[in-house]
Amino acid sequence: MSFDWTAYLHLAQELSGQTTIPPTQEARLRSAISRAYYAAFCKARNHLRDKEGLSIPLTGQAHTIIWRRFKNSSDQLRKEIGENLRRLRNDRRQADYDDDVRNLHTLTHKALTRATQVLSALGKL
């Protein structure tokens, strides 16, 4: 069955304390994937900007620039960060745009694990 996109409004209402209709579990899981990605993406972006002095555009290109910057490194830890960011981005796009997402529970678990790994690895750089 296709995702009912109005469930995101119900989740937004719940998050803001204005609950009228409880959000679905699918909306929660999709949002968890998206938030996990942005936690990892923004920490990685800030690392490159603040610690390495990289100028990052304020456009959608930043997403590709950041994962590639890490992925193309000769350092194994940075490569892993890049690969996890790339996979997280793909998961986030699927959760945010696809009407049907298969194995959503598994995808959510993987996204949370990858985001945790990115944050941990960034702390070691």
Which CA distances in Å does 66 have to 12, 31, 36, 78, 81? 28, 22, 16, 11, 10
CA atoms within 13 Å, Cβ hemisphere of 61: 5
Distance CA 74, CA 63 (A): 20
Mean pLDDT, range 55-83, rounded to an integer: 97
Q: Quick: pLDDT tens for 39-63.
A: 999 999 999 999 999 999 999 999 9
pTM of the predicted structure, to 2 decimals: 0.91
Distance CA 109, CA 94 (A): 14
What was the pLDDT predicted at 7? Answer: 92
Q: Quick: pLDDT tens for 81-113.
A: 999 999 999 999 999 999 999 999 999 999 999
Least confident of 15-19, 29-33, 58-62, 112-116: 15-19
